[in-house]
Structure 1
């Protein structure tokens, strides 16, 4: 989705299950006019959905994009699916931006995480 190279690389935290994950995997076309702006708008819009928990992105060198969006419950996911502005972006995506895509929705039953603690750097000896 958007280029997050300026932001710290941190995955969405592990939440207490159950919650839902929507996995959107894409291959994009060469035609990308308007994609970045629409993508940025969708990322802002989804934050207004009650029950939205966060989003992770990855892009392979070969061109496969993966976005995983997390929602507290099925109602939150349905509200996002049915949002009119989101629906319009989906339609434009099928017409212009995506060669192919898949969407998988899963109920998360187990979740855990790890973050390495920062190690204090002492003075170097020499």
Structure 2
């Protein structure tokens, strides 16, 4: 599903990852993070795709909102487990969206 974002400017956090074979509690933690992030002040929506690499883009109204999510205790726990159990590697990019447009049939 494509996120319904507001008129720019806003921010995008792009999380690109390569997983290991271990599934230990991954789906449960992922579902918990999706539920939690939707309750965060400043969260605007997200999009995700997974094949050989996973790409999740979350949208935010401010850099402060992004920082607050990064410091969320449950999100810290998920990051630590990601580093120690679930991911071979990942990269996070934070961008300011200056312009967007859409097409729909």
- The count of residues paired between Structure 1 and Structure 2 equals 105
1:98 corresponds, among 71, 78, 87, to 87
Shift of 1:13: 2.2
Structure number with the higher helix fraction is 2
Question: Is the 2:5–2:44 contact (alpha carbons within 8 Å) kept by the matching residues of 1?
Answer: no
Question: Paired residue for 2:33, among 37, 42, 51?
Answer: 42
TM-score of the pair, normalised by structure 2: 0.96
Cα distance in 1 for partners of 2:11, 2:103 equals: 20
Offset of residue 48 of structure 1: 1.0
Q: Which runs of 5+ in 2 are unaligned?
A: none
RCO comparison, higher one (Cα < 8 Å, 6+): 2
Tell me the secondary structure at the aligned position of residue 11 of structure 1.
Answer: coil
User: 4+ residue stretches of structure 1 with deviation over 4 A?
Assistant: none
- 1:1-126 to structure 2, matched below 5 A, reads 10-60=1-51, 63-116=52-105
Q: Structure 1 unaligned segments of length 5 or more: list them.
A: 1-9, 117-126
Work out which of the two has the higher radius of gyration on C-alpha atoms and give 1 or 2. Answer: 1
Deviation at 1:14, TM superposition (A): 4.0
Q: TM-score, normalised by structure 1?
A: 0.80
